[in-house]
Chains A and B, each alone.
Chain A
Amino acid sequence: MYTGNGHEERSESMKNVRDVKDLNDLKDNNVIKEKHNVIRDKNLSRSEKNKINNRFATITYVYLFIFLAMTAYLCYFLGFKSESFINNPYNPRINNLSDSVIRGDIKSSDGNVLATTVQNKDGTLQRSYPYGEEFCHSVGYAVNGMTGLELENNFDLLRSHSYVVDRVQNELSGKKSQGDTIVSTLDTNIQKACFDAITTEKGAAIVIEPDTGKILAEVSKPSFDPNTASQNWKSISSSNDAQLLNRVLQGKYPPGSTFKIATVLSYLHSGGELTDRFDCNGEFTKGGYTVHCANNESHGNQDVTQAFSNSCNIAFSQIGLKCDITDFDTITDQLLFNKTLPGKFSNKAKSSFKLSKDDDEPMVMATSFGQGKTTVSPYHMALIASAIANNGELMVPYDVDHIESKDGDMVSSNSPKKYKSLMTADDAETLKTLMRKVVTDGTAKSAFKDPSYTAYGKTGTAEFNSKGDTHSWFVGFADNGEKTVCLCVLLEDTSSHAYTAASKIFSACFK
């Protein structure tokens, strides 16, 4: 690599000695014994010269190394990172792709078209959503901004993997190529059941397959028709009911009694037993705070299992007070409170749980039955139920099964991935038993009459203001020996029951 110094070195070796001396500050006069050993001098001078050259070489190699490392990083970024990185709503280039590609279709797992691009009479292209309101939050929209599947797969929808010859032909003739098709995990029948089951004005429902993490349905109400969103944008975006909000992912609700799942786990980890007994006389006061059960019911003397299935606030206040706060923290931590939840969905809300040793008794009591400062999203509750149904293991939730070209060739596909264990298999088994009791003997016993499945769950009634208005929750799962589905339903501000909605959704799943 270093040219030119070879011959110079030989012919000028004597002078080199002096120059080297200059560079090197050698005070050693022995180097120059001109009159004597010339050969020795030559060797010496050469080695000295090499030493100096070595320093230049060292620096050159250091530079070579950092530049090569930088090049390797660039290649690594382009080879492995860039695809997922550039698929971001802040990247203005992606929409440029629509100059040469027709935005692809989105299909349901049962083969129905959920979103497609149609040509208007005047030749312009328009996005069309055959199912209208039903999939408005899950499929999303691509008109004023983007959400849902449209947003997450924006880049893939605008790429075409159709036959190369076709694409070159299109390029030459100035025609657009057809973008790839997203085949989602959403099922139109289950989605419809969810949509119909939410009878209140506002609410949310999500159905997940616990052993794979596939999202089968996701509904948030109020919704709107994405086909006309562009025209109605003003009223949609300014509505007081937060029509644009996907309540499943973004909602932050008090969990109410569904939180007793966490409380009972904390109690068992603090050394409590399911056979421990508590009294309920319809009223319980501690630290100046009085707790009532729903409808002022009095449950009498019950063990933990009964307290869970009756959803007894009084028993759970006492259970909470017996819990070790550290265990409470550990359990909620494992259940992903205060954490970014898994799944590639933007805008997922973080659930929040706060309880410290300094909190007074009323706060501990309220927190134990899901009031206090705790908030959760329906998505998060569904994930907890999903882990319980799957021996404690949570799978990473996903809603895209695979991507195919317009000719049906597979472009890429998703497979189930384990996220992590939220609890031990034993804990999951215990909770399963408790949740079965809720359906057979407890608060939800009137709801699940359909013999085609076995249901498990926990109801919840969560107060969200001081007037005593409530949201209704149901979180649980059902199996028929072949498959298991898990769901979470939330109905806002209502006296009707989420478990009624849940039973209808389960029936649709097992039809």
Chain B
Amino acid sequence: MVRLFTIISRYILIFLFALYTFDGFFALRSGLSKSKEKGLYYLQNIWTLLLISLCNVILYLNTENATYIVLMVSEITLVIALQIIYKAAYTGINNALLNHLCMLLSLGLIIISRLNTDRAIKQLIIAIFAAVVTSIIPILIKKFDFWEDLQKLYAVLGIISLLIVLVAGQTVYGAKISLNIGGFSFQPTEFVKIFFVLGISAALKKAKNGRDYLILTIVSFIHIGILVLSRDLGGAVILFMIFLLLVYLKTAKLWILVSGGTLVVSGLFLVGKLMAHVQSRISAWIDPISVIDNAGYQVSQSLFAIGTGSWVGSGLTLGMPEKIPVVSKDFIFAAISEELGAVFGICLIFTYVSCIILIMNLAMQKKDTFSSLAAAGFGIAFGFQSFLSIGGVIKFIPSTGVTLPFISAGGSSTIAFFIMFSCIQGMGMKKEVKA
């Protein structure tokens, strides 16, 4: 009976998430009255809470592990607390973005707990910590204006962090990305994205002539160059996208987009020629089955999971996502798609799209260049990382080994994206200085 219940609930879960996604897009339409918009956001919260409850009930029934009940209560409490505290503390908060944060975070906790309950508890603690700490960021951004004067500090912090990783980092799956400090694995690259966005935005606001742009470009490429040397191509591509798109936003020169695109393609080609670790990822992308014994194993297992789960999934606990290496981090989308179904996965993709639209819309309305560019920069980083992660998992693009924002297990990534979201919220609420 539990099995049947699990199988039938697949449809309910898809339905809930589809409703959530639909409400999110419906609320984006212009011309909607404020009260109606508010109503939709409340509905979204209800879908989120129902989804958390149902998933945890299924997990509990299948495993009879009481931890899931504890997790369910904690997750529900976390979502309600986030909603109440943020809304009470800040007027003018972007409700839609807050809802998405709650949904993504809950989904992440659910799927991580399905894979490993201990890890989920760790992740929950990290999330609570991050939520508490970052809740003051919007105030700091609202109150102070010195953020845009610190571009030198951002650059120094960014470059030093990257250099430390390059020198002392551990090599994981061919790339140097993490530091081991007192038993905790720490990934500075996740935070460098934040410094990078703030630094470029600040520099772009002040850039007046060619020399300013040249310095900006050189500093950016120092960042990217160190990442390439650390073989963290995912990170390098994300930083490059931030640089490229922000310069385009400031200058409106379409040729920057075109030549930047050409540069990144030829750069990747060159790097692919030179680095064995990249070559193997590309051959795994072209035909994973032919190299299934080594480089193609992970992508093949991921596609087996997605393909076998098919549109509606196998049902929670009825798949075998644990067969995919690093499933709780880079390949978590495969686990979601296998057990909850590809339709669910597509709703997730659209939730990310919705986030990007919301962030870009928020950035567009800012009249201060720094706030506008920084918010856009965070949106670009967030969106592109989501794309790299999901695209790599479904073999749409070669796998770059980046985490899925707010869903993948991992402290650095979760905290970094919390910071980004609170910065965006802060930028959104910041009063415009009127000259």
Q: Which residues of A contact B (CB under 8 A)?
A: 1-6, 8, 15-16, 18-19, 22-25, 51-53, 55-57, 59-60, 63-64, 66-67, 69-71, 73-75, 77-78, 81-83, 85-86, 88, 90-94, 96, 171-172
Nearest chain B CB to A54 CB, angstrom units: 8
CB-based contact A2/B4 at 8 Å: no
Beyond the given A51-B252, A67-B350, A74-B394, please list 13 additional residue pairs across the A-B interface where CB-CB is below 8 A.
A3-B28, A3-B32, A8-B365, A25-B208, A60-B357, A63-B383, A64-B353, A74-B345, A75-B342, A78-B306, A81-B307, A86-B307, A171-B7
CB-based contact A92/B342 at 8 Å: no
The 4 closest A-B pairs by CB, nearest first: A82-B307, A19-B367, A86-B307, A56-B364
**Known contacts A3-B30, A91-B308, A93-B320; is A71 also within 8 Å of B361 by CB?**
no
CB-based contact A78/B364 at 8 Å: no
How far is it, in angstroms, between the C-alpha of A53 and the C-alpha of B306 when the chains are bound?
A: 38
How far is it, in angstroms, between the C-alpha of A94 and the C-alpha of B301 when the chains are bound?
A: 12
Is residue B219 contacting chain A, with contact meaning CB distance below 8 A?
A: no
CB-based contact B310/A55 at 8 Å: no
Interface of B is mostly: helix
Contacts of B383 in A (CB 8 A): 63
Contacts of A171 in B (CB 8 A): 3-4, 7
How far is it, in angstroms, between the C-alpha of A445 and the C-alpha of B50 when the chains are bound?
A: 82
Residues of B340-380 whose CB lies within 8 A of A = 342, 345-346, 349-350, 352-353, 356-357, 360-361, 363-365, 367-369, 372, 376, 380
Contacts of B308 in A (CB 8 A): 82, 86, 91, 93-94
**Known contacts A70-B387, A85-B307, A90-B300; is A18 also within 8 Å of B345 by CB?**
no
How far is it, in angstroms, between the C-alpha of A91 and the C-alpha of B308 when the chains are bound?
A: 9
Contacts of A57 in B (CB 8 A): 360, 364
Q: Which one, B117-125, B227-235, B243-251, B419-427, is touching chain A? A: B243-251
Is residue B157 contacting chain A, with contact meaning CB distance below 8 A?
A: no
CB-based contact A66/B310 at 8 Å: no
Contact of A77 (CB < 8 Å), options: B4, B301, B395: B395
CB-based contact B304/A90 at 8 Å: yes
Chain B residue nearest in CB terms to A81: B307
CB-based contact A15/B367 at 8 Å: yes
Contact of B364 (CB < 8 Å), options: A25, A53, A63, A172: A53
Residues of B2-40 whose CB lies within 8 A of A = 3-4, 7, 28-32
Interface of A is mostly: helix
CB-based contact A60/B360 at 8 Å: yes
- Interface 1/0s, chain B 314-326, versus A by CB < 8 A? 1000011001000
Contact of A67 (CB < 8 Å), options: B208, B250, B352, B365: B352
How far is it, in angstroms, between the C-alpha of A75 and the C-alpha of B349 when the chains are bound?
A: 13
CB-based contact B310/A59 at 8 Å: no
How far is it, in angstroms, between the C-alpha of A8 and the C-alpha of B30 when the chains are bound?
A: 14
CB-based contact B307/A2 at 8 Å: no
CB-based contact B28/A1 at 8 Å: yes
Is residue B391 contacting chain A, with contact meaning CB distance below 8 A?
A: yes
Chain B residue nearest in CB terms to A60: B360
CB-based contact B252/A88 at 8 Å: no
10 A-B interface contacts by CB (under 8 A): A23-B367, A55-B248, A56-B249, A56-B364, A59-B248, A63-B353, A66-B387, A74-B306, A75-B346, A92-B323
Residues of B299-313 whose CB lies within 8 A of A = 300-301, 303-308, 310-311
Contact of A73 (CB < 8 Å), options: B301, B356, B380, B394: B394
**Known contacts A3-B30, A171-B4; is A93 also within 8 Å of B248 by CB?**
no
**Known contacts A2-B364, A6-B30; is A77 also within 8 Å of B305 by CB?**
no
How far is it, in angstroms, between the C-alpha of A171 and the C-alpha of B304 when the chains are bound?
A: 24
**Known contacts A55-B248, A56-B363, A78-B310; is A93 also within 8 Å of B396 by CB?**
no
Contact of A4 (CB < 8 Å), options: B3, B346, B365, B372: B365
CB-based contact A82/B353 at 8 Å: no
Chain B residue nearest in CB terms to A155: B308
Is residue B289 contacting chain A, with contact meaning CB distance below 8 A?
A: yes
How far is it, in angstroms, between the C-alpha of A16 and the C-alpha of B364 when the chains are bound?
A: 13
CB-based contact A23/B342 at 8 Å: no
Nearest chain A CB to B70 CB, angstrom units: 29
CB-based contact A91/B304 at 8 Å: yes
CB-based contact A55/B304 at 8 Å: no
Contacts of B349 in A (CB 8 A): 67, 70-71, 74
Contacts of A5 in B (CB 8 A): 364-365
CB-based contact A77/B364 at 8 Å: no
Is residue B52 contacting chain A, with contact meaning CB distance below 8 A?
A: no
Contacts of A67 in B (CB 8 A): 349-350, 352-353, 356, 387
Contact of B342 (CB < 8 Å), options: A6, A8, A74, A81: A74
